[in-house]
Structure 1
Amino acid sequence: MSTRVLLVEDQMLVRQGIKSLLALDDSVEVVGECEDGSLLIETLRMCECDVVLMDIRMPKVSGIEALKALKENAITVPVLMLTTFDDHALVSSAINEGAKGYLLKDVSLETLVDAIKAVERGETLIQPAVTEKVLKGLQGLDVSFESFDTPESLTKKELEILRLVAAGYSNKEIADTIYKSTGTVKNQVSAIMAKLGVRDRTRAVLKALELGWI
Structure 2
Amino acid sequence: MSDDAADAIRVLLVDDDALVRSGLRMMLAGAERIEVVGEADDGRGVLAAVDRHRPDVVLMDIRMPQLDGIAATRLLRAQPASPEVLVLTTFDADELVLQALRAGAAGFLLKDTPPREIVRAIELVAAGEAMVSPSVTRQLIALVAGDGEAAARGERARKRLATLSPREREVADAVGRGRANAEIAAELHMSVATVKAHVSRLLAKLEVDNRVQIALLVQDAGG
Per the normalisation by structure 1, the TM-score is 0.76
Structure 1, unmatched stretches of 5+, are: none
Partner of 1:62 in structure 2? Answer: 68
CA distance in 2, matches of 1:184, 1:194: 16
User: In the TM superposition, what is the alpha-carbon distance from 1:193 to its structure 2 partner?
Assistant: 6.3
CA contact (8 A) 1:6 1:52 kept: yes
Partner of 1:85 in structure 2? Answer: 92
> Residues 206 and 47 from structure 1, CA distance in 2 versus in 1: closer, same or farther, beyond 3 angstroms?
closer
Quick one: which of 122, 125, 139 aligns to 2:128? 122
CA distance in 2, matches of 1:66, 1:201: 20
Residue 27, structure 1, aligned to residue 33, structure 2? yes
Partner of 1:133 in structure 2? Answer: 139
> Residues 198 and 175 from structure 1, CA distance in 2 versus in 1: closer, same or farther, beyond 3 angstroms?
same
CA contact (8 A) 2:98 2:141 kept: no
- What secondary structure is seen at the aligned counterpart in 1 of 2:159? coil
1:1-214 aligned at under 5 Å gives the runs 1-71=7-77, 74=80, 76-83=82-89, 84-87=91-94, 89-127=95-133, 130-141=136-147, 142=149, 144=153, 147=157, 149=159, 151=162, 165-175=175-185, 181-187=191-197, 189=199, 197=206, 199=208, 200-212=210-222, 214=223
CA contact (8 A) 1:131 1:167 kept: no
The number of aligned residues is 210
CA distance in 2, matches of 1:190, 1:42: 28
> What is the one-letter code of the residue matched to 1:205?
A
Q: Which has the larger helix fraction?
A: 2
CA distance in 2, matches of 1:194, 1:48: 24
> What is the one-letter code of the residue matched to 1:182?
V
> What is the one-letter code of the residue matched to 2:92?
F
Per the normalisation by structure 2, the TM-score is 0.73
CA distance in 2, matches of 1:132, 1:165: 14
CA RMSD of superposed structures (Å): 3.4
- What secondary structure is seen at the aligned counterpart in 2 of 1:96? helix
Per mean C-alpha deviation after superposition, the further-off stretch among 56-65 and 74-83 is 74-83
> What is the one-letter code of the residue matched to 1:85?
D
> What is the one-letter code of the residue matched to 1:206?
L
- What secondary structure is seen at the aligned counterpart in 2 of 1:94? helix
- What secondary structure is seen at the aligned counterpart in 2 of 1:125? coil
User: In the TM superposition, what is the alpha-carbon distance from 1:148 to its structure 2 partner?
Assistant: 5.7
User: In the TM superposition, what is the alpha-carbon distance from 1:54 to its structure 2 partner?
Assistant: 0.6
